[in-house]
Structure 1
Amino acid sequence: MSKYGLSSEQVQQSLREHGNNTLPTPPRESFWQKLLENFQDPIIRILILALLVNVVFVYMGHGDWIETAGIFVAILLATFVSTWSEFNNENAFQKLQEEASRIRCKVWRDGEPVEIAIDDIVVGDAVILEAGDRVPADGVLLEGELKLDQSALNGESDEAKKLPAAAGFVWGEKIDFLAEERVYRGSVVVEGAGVLQVAKVGAASVYGQLTQELKEDERESPLKLKLQGLAEQISRFGYTGGVLIAVAVMLHKLFLAGGPAAYFANMTAVLQDLVQAVILAIIIIVMAVPEGLPLMIAIVSSLNMRKMLRDNVLVRKLVGIETAGSLNLLFTDKTGTITKGKLEVVRFITGDKQELTSFDALPEKIKELTYQQVVLNTSAAVSEGKIVGGNMTEAALSRYLGSYRTQEVPQRQHFVAFNSTSKYSWAQVASANDTYCLVKGAPEKLLLRTGFYWDAEGRRLALTAGMKQQLDARMLELAGQAMRMLALCSYEGAVDGELPERGLTLVGIVAIRDDVRPEAVEAIAAVQKAGVQVVMITGDRKETAVAIAKDAGLLQHPEEVVWTSDELAQLSDDDVKLLLPRLRVVARALPLDKLRLVRLAQELNLVVGMTGDGVNDSPALKKADVGFAMGSGTEVAKEAGDIVILDDNFLSIKQAILYGRTIYNSICKFIVFQLTINASAVAINFIAPFINIDEPLTITQILWINLVMDTLAALAFGGEPALKQYLEEEPKRRSAPIVSRKMLLSVVIGGLYMTLVGIAFYKSAWVDHLFRDAANHIYTYTGFFCTYIFMAVANGFNVRVEGLNPLKNISLNKAFLQVMALIIAIQVLLTYVGGRVLRTTPLNAGEWGVVVLFSLSMLIVGVLGKLFMGRR
């Protein structure tokens, strides 16, 4: 029986009064809600308008149901693909989160220890805590002594000591992570055991309160802003082009009739011409809208999301990966992201100043004594010669041993645990032949007591004052590299009472550090080269943070800035904004510091990313343009993030940026490809009436071009690979238009050439003579229609690469070849079956040769255009 805990009746009463321990979760969107939200996309809205206009014309008998169906399918596919991808990833994320709710906790109920789900804990419960447990609710310690890792709550890596509360203690509303009697949900027990009396559960806990801060409205993504601007430009271009073409057609009819009097004499013909002109204008307006763009964005996002999952990056929201490619500034955690997230022994220094990096390299005598220090001079549990639980330092020492075991381990006779006063622990042990002591602790304390050291041959030699000074100097250097020192000593003989003040023998000094991930150094360099400013934010002291930042490549120049939280607090917002471009490290950071830095960076119109794993990081993760939550972090942090980094590795953040830029570049390629076709089609149809060309492209041909080039090309460009060269580009400004000058110039050059080729086919006798004679020039007209499609295909190869080789990296997107081959095959087939509907007829081998040569000339124009733009 226990004096703590609740009875079944008390549990029910507490449940009625305070509720259970279930954490509040942000409202979750259903599939249909997400689908409806995706219909708000600016390009989708234009498509819906075009669809409604087409429906009206079909109803009146003047529209084309194929084009109408095509637009309808494009809208549905685009919205469904993006919604389905996001919904599936959200479900995958939910499965990760559900694991947290399956945690079982041991509590006293009705005088007996029972195991219950974490959500079933109530106020007043007595929870049994042991090393390795995660604290399930806020409360006070009733008995025992604990050391907690509270970094998930306050970002501090130092372990917090917790002691039982005094009699009559009242919880109140105060939040104090440093108070010894207060224990908060989300902390992890690293050492000790005790009983916790629950004071706050669920939403009332500090952990739960922080989840309520995640309801802030999100800022629009850079891509969404750019697409809104593009939609407005396309609308203006389409409407203007449509109206001008309708006017041009009517003027052409007027000219052919011989003047206004003759033309308006037959009002029936005038009305028929007017209807045809309006239909053509509507077709042009519809064609100006790249309905494949939303589908292409959905496809490329979906494909890359699956690739990213293989790289340990779970995208919860499509907007997250789009925005990652536009990052200007990334605030990142240190522990586990830049560093390995666990302490490791990185050096072993012997008494004669030899420095060894691996346990296997130690001399046999020193190796054996080091092993005994780890498994005998410890307060942690030991199983089969290996540490179980224990604090971070003991876990590091245990990993350092690897698989090493001795056949005979001495018997521990006496043990004195580490305490903050003496700063060492010691154990007296006895082997078959000897009794001696093992001492482990702070070097500054133990070196004062040493007079000897063990050498490589296992001899006990004198440790001189000069040797101690050299060791002190070296330890000072290593401390500047963020290493902690731990001295291992032995004492020959038994001890009665206190450890002697003199006569210890130095086994060695262990240097321990949470080392920088080698791959993180490379990834940080790549991200910085990509134009993204990386700022490390940590709860560690300034000296440690600076050392890690230097090793990681974040601090390289004297003018770069390092702040502590106190220094940051003394600066005005204007001062922070002024110095922000030079900022590289913030030490001893608080959650409010992160929020402030994100806010100020966004006020500078920067696209800001934030990494985090703790509850304390959640508000900043939510406020940032893209939040990277760590996979090992808290459920609250993952809820706040847009992207979950499953392996906690900065390398995965680099990959997220790369994939984000891949999506953006793929979208830009598709836009250039599509606008080149649209611009040339509008230009040809606008110019045609003024140079006496009647229907250079028929309405059905325009519809076919629009349908096949939008939808199939979306599939082709959707599979573009993630190329490392994208990380060498400067990030796009948040306010910059998606269509850059270079893209616009490419559209103008390509569109102008396609227009000139069209005019040549209709007005050049030389071109006409390359085809068989026919009264209606049907062979020439078919030749132009095929040439136009094939030139568009050739231009697809132009725009998919930056360089002069149109086949570069084509093996990485075989779908591109397959789709383009399908377009060509369908076009060839249409010359045989299109007939009067598409104004086509079969061509002979010579005529196909002319078509192919004109089409391939588009590749030459692309190369010349790139050379011209390169010179500019």
Structure 2
Amino acid sequence: MSQSRHYDGLTDAQVLESRREHGVNVLTPPKKRSMFMRFLEKFKDPLIIILLVAGALSIGIACYEYYALPDTDATVFFEPLGIFIAIFLATGLAFYFEARADKEFAILNQVNDDEPVQVIRNGNTTQVPKKDIVVGDIVIITTGEEIPADGELIEAVSLQVDESSLTGEPVCAKSTDPALFDKDATFPTDWVMRGTKVMEGHGMYEVKAVGDHTENGKVFEAAQIDDSVKTPLNEQLDRLGTLITRVSLGIAALIIIGRLSLFFINMVEFDWLRFVTFFLQTIMIAVTLLVVSIPEGLPMAVTLSLAYSMRRMLKTNNLVRKMHACETMGATTVICTDKTGTLTENQMRIYRTDFFGLPEQRLDDSVMSRLVEEGIAVNSTALLDLSNPDKPSVLGNPTEGALILWLRNNGVDYRTLREGVERVDEIPFTTERKYMASEVKSGVLPGKTILYVKGAPEIVYSLCRNTEGGVDKAAIDNLLLGYQNQAMRTLGFAYQIVEPGQEAIADGNLVADNLTFMGVVAISDPVRADVPDAVQECLDAGIAIKIVTGDTPNTAKEIARQIGLWKEGDGDRNIITGPEFAALDDKALYDRVKDLKVISRARPLDKKRLVETLQKRNEVVAVTGDGTNDAPALKAAQVGLSMGDGTSVAKEASDITIVDNSFASIGRAVMWGRSLYHNIQRFILFQMTVNVVACLIVLCGAFMGTESPLTVTQMLWVNLIMDTFAAMALASLPPSERVMKDKPRDRNAFIINRPMRYDIIGMGGLFFVLLLGLLYIFHHADITCLTDLLSLHLDPSSSEMTPYELSLFFTIFVFLQFWNMFNARAFESHGSAFNLKGCSEFDFIALVILIGQILIVTFGGEMFNVTPLKVVDWVIIIVVTSLVLWVGELFRLFKK
């Protein structure tokens, strides 16, 4: 304990000078981007950029056709209009859902800068707002207060500080006595920091840093750095966009070269006017192919899938703030987690009691039991906040709080016991003496005065003459060793009935000489009940887990053992302390980082460096945390997961908030992410098959000299409206627990994998051959009903398609894609397309597409260039095209 001295503090002039030199005690808020700039960011998507280029080219073609060609109406502008509708729907929906999530999230860095703080200035004690604290101020702190700025202690009496928001440690003993300094502590024992809270005792300190220069401020500033980490989905869509662009440009170039070659081969006499006309037609066909090849529905599909998952994930206690985080969780290969509040309950609990005079270690009606109850209740400074009886919270020292919580769980009201005694004398706990004592006129033994002592077991035992139950010291030492090996805190208890005329406490010192050692209590911050299973689920899914905590190595290792992370055979290479971690150069850390399972005594920026090193090794990193200390790592990771009761700084830096603070919810997020990726793959499989068929038809038409049988508005229905419904249908597919048995996907693997390539090329080629055959038949035969195909007569001289034949061709094209949507739904499901359990939304949307196609053909008229079909043709088309699904089912059955 420090000797009290007189302090004058700063003068008013010194305060102004200090503020001018070192700044104000306010954290600089992060710059907020305008809503407009946040909207513009959505246009950085590579597929959106391709669509913008295609839209611009489409406008040029439409203007040329409308103004330069005869008999052209305004319908030529439907194509560019449709493209820009697709663009604004995709970008607008992405922006809307993220903005709404931000609003729901509603977490800002709210700090009460006007909170009064006691300081000494001009030789007097006064109160000033927190924001007015300056470097050099002498600040007075006491139990329950939040420390306003960083500084060095000049006085400390029984001072214990909760540093969990910065280091993960709920209780840190603070002192000005060098003999009591903890060399392994994350921060010096005589140092206190902004944002931490005094749990017990009081003291005074000199401010050394304010505002952004405090440890809290540095962490907050680091949390604002946007490292612009590209998500795996961004990378995959970039590659897909590049592939589509290259293939489309290649085919377009092939069309131009091929048609011009045919022109010159067939040319008898060169005619500039004829050549220019033919060249412009060729360019228009090439650009049309570019427009057809662009999957307008894909950005919409990705947006809808992510938005749908955001909404559904909230039901599994994952509040998604950043849309990309839904899918990125599925690609996660490493989870870096803090300990306190994430793996553990962040509330000290009694693990076991060993009161030697109690049978079976439980409270009963015996005298010994009543002495234990009264001793715990009266020899304590902790209180319980019972405003929520179902979830009482501790006020004061968490360790003492665990004791009175234990009483409450055993049906004992500590308040009644405290009110039933008359306090005679007491000795407060200090880190020097390591025990506390209370002498009271007992309520459980009327007429008796009893001294109760509680503290470090070895200290309390050394003060005792007797041991309850005759237990020897060796047995007690073995008991304590077992608890220490499990990284638990232990307390010893003793009592003495003070006879009349005896002294137990004199001049603040313990003089009692007949104390009886009652027993030992083991206290821990218990692992959450669902964490071991959740950790095992992640390990089975191929995800590595690393614990980063401010706790001691033994405590951190024991927690890792309890959750199933620390295995037999793990050793020194798998655990490291913060100072050792900081001492490693980048290369040494790069080589060792994959082996690390536990980092103890970690400082706030250690976790961020860990994340960045793992990312250099091509890992996809998710970070969990609830404290201010976790914010830089949460920001730097591909996915930051904050806890629902974490600090506002942590939540602001995160992408997802785990509402129920359960590590098990992280497993659910991984399952959703992996399933979502499969859903996006399913849509790409569906969409690209459509595009391959459409491109091949345009390509063949370019060399056959025929007009495309699919009009602009028809392709608009297929590529935008129908695909949007398909996106909704495939996005609505429920997650599969089976994906948690798979290993994380290779982030460098292309989103279109080998089975998808085979399906796209094979199914697209099959559809193309079938449609090309129909195209030839419709050109050279008069088909008024599909039954005419049974008595087919081809007329080589005929080359025009009737409106009815165009309607048949359009409907067959759509229904081939419709049934293929069911094949896409079964992709990677290892099951039948008819296994629609939990897929009611998919069924409904499929029905909407079916009815929509019937309505368009029946009532679309000139806009869609269709005429109503006969009922028999509808039946034939639906039945015959369904073979696409039946063949797919047989293939899946054979493969299985």
TM-score range, shorter chain: 0.7 to 0.9
- CA positional deviation for 1:350: 3.2
Of 235, 247, 250, which residue of structure 2 is paired with 1:240? 250
**In structure 2, distance between residues paired with 1:646 and 1:134:** 25
Q: Residues 67 and 698 of structure 1: is their aligned pair in 2 closer, same or farther, counting only changes over 3 Å?
A: closer
Partner of 1:534: 545
SS of alignment partner, residue 597 of structure 2: strand
Q: Residues 226 and 509 of structure 1: is their aligned pair in 2 closer, same or farther, counting only changes over 3 Å?
A: same
- Residue 770 in 1 paired to residue 775 in 2? no
1:197-276 → structure 2 map (5 Å cutoff):
198-213=207-222, 214-215=224-225, 217-245=227-255, 260-261=266-267, 275-276=280-281
- CA positional deviation for 1:363: 5.5
SS of alignment partner, residue 803 of structure 1: coil
- CA positional deviation for 1:294: 1.9
- Residue 183 in 1 paired to residue 210 in 2? no
Structure 2 spans left out of the alignment, 5+ residues: 1-5, 67-74, 179-184, 793-797
1:546-561 → structure 2 map (5 Å cutoff):
546-559=557-570, 561=573
**In structure 2, distance between residues paired with 1:339 and 1:355:** 27
**In structure 1, distance between residues paired with 2:393 and 2:256:** 83
CA deviation vs aligned residue, 1:205-239 (integer Å, no higher than 9, x gap): 23223333343632322221111111010111222
CA deviation vs aligned residue, 1:494-546 (integer Å, no higher than 9, x gap): 44346578644344421211111111222212222222111112222222222
**In structure 2, distance between residues paired with 1:24 and 1:840:** 63
Partner of 2:91: 79
Partner of 1:604: 617
- Residue 66 in 1 paired to residue 75 in 2? no
SS of alignment partner, residue 380 of structure 2: coil
1:392-403 → structure 2 map (5 Å cutoff):
392-402=398-408
SS of alignment partner, residue 159 of structure 1: strand
SS of alignment partner, residue 185 of structure 1: coil
Q: Which moved more, 1:802-811 or 1:36-45?
A: 802-811
1:134-153 → structure 2 map (5 Å cutoff):
134-141=146-153, 145=157, 146-153=159-166
Partner of 1:193: 202
SS of alignment partner, residue 488 of structure 1: strand
Of 359, 374, 377, which residue of structure 1 is paired with 2:376? 374
Equivalent residues of 1:142, 1:194 under 8 A apart: yes
Identical-residue share of aligned pairs (%) = 32
Q: How many residues align?
A: 840
Partner of 1:857: 883
Equivalent residues of 1:329, 1:532 under 8 A apart: yes
CA deviation vs aligned residue, 1:640-684 (integer Å, no higher than 9, x gap): 433344544323333333333344233222211111111122223
- RMSD after superposition: 3.8
Of 825, 830, 835, which residue of structure 2 is paired with 1:800? 825
SS of alignment partner, residue 22 of structure 1: coil
**In structure 2, distance between residues paired with 1:302 and 1:705:** 22
Partner of 1:496: 504
TM-score (norm 1): 0.86
**In structure 2, distance between residues paired with 1:581 and 1:17:** 44
Q: Residues 544 and 559 of structure 1: is their aligned pair in 2 closer, same or farther, counting only changes over 3 Å?
A: closer
Equivalent residues of 2:358, 2:369 under 8 A apart: no
Equivalent residues of 1:349, 1:355 under 8 A apart: no
**In structure 1, distance between residues paired with 2:835 and 2:128:** 60
Q: Residues 428 and 647 of structure 1: is their aligned pair in 2 closer, same or farther, counting only changes over 3 Å?
A: same
The residue type equivalent to 1:373 in the other structure is G
TM-score (norm 2): 0.84
Partner of 1:745: 758
- CA positional deviation for 1:855: 2.5
- Residue 338 in 1 paired to residue 363 in 2? no
**In structure 2, distance between residues paired with 1:237 and 1:864:** 32
Q: Residues 569 and 25 of structure 1: is their aligned pair in 2 closer, same or farther, counting only changes over 3 Å?
A: closer
- CA positional deviation for 1:625: 2.7
Partner of 1:131: 143
1:31-46 → structure 2 map (5 Å cutoff):
31-46=35-50
Of 707, 715, 726, which residue of structure 1 is paired with 2:728? 715
Of 656, 661, 672, which residue of structure 1 is paired with 2:685? 672
SS of alignment partner, residue 166 of structure 2: helix
- CA positional deviation for 1:831: 2.1
**In structure 2, distance between residues paired with 1:86 and 1:508:** 57
SS of alignment partner, residue 100 of structure 1: coil
SS of alignment partner, residue 771 of structure 1: helix
Partner of 1:47: 51
CA deviation vs aligned residue, 1:779-829 (integer Å, no higher than 9, x gap): 454333212212222222222232332244563551x33333222222212
**In structure 2, distance between residues paired with 1:124 and 1:156:** 27
Partner of 2:846: 820
**In structure 2, distance between residues paired with 1:274 and 1:778:** 29
Q: Residues 722 and 383 of structure 1: is their aligned pair in 2 closer, same or farther, counting only changes over 3 Å?
A: closer
- Residue 435 in 1 paired to residue 449 in 2? yes
Equivalent residues of 1:749, 1:865 under 8 A apart: no
The residue type equivalent to 1:240 in the other structure is G
Q: Residues 746 and 113 of structure 1: is their aligned pair in 2 closer, same or farther, counting only changes over 3 Å?
A: farther
**In structure 1, distance between residues paired with 2:386 and 2:686:** 66
Q: Which moved more, 1:418-427 or 1:497-506?
A: 497-506
**In structure 1, distance between residues paired with 2:27 and 2:294:** 46
Partner of 2:795: none
Q: Which moved more, 1:194-203 or 1:396-405?
A: 194-203
**In structure 2, distance between residues paired with 1:327 and 1:219:** 14
**In structure 1, distance between residues paired with 2:384 and 2:807:** 85
Q: Which moved more, 1:700-709 or 1:217-226?
A: 700-709
Equivalent residues of 2:107, 2:652 under 8 A apart: no
Q: Which moved more, 1:494-503 or 1:203-212?
A: 494-503
Partner of 1:171: none
- Residue 735 in 1 paired to residue 753 in 2? no
- CA positional deviation for 1:46: 0.4
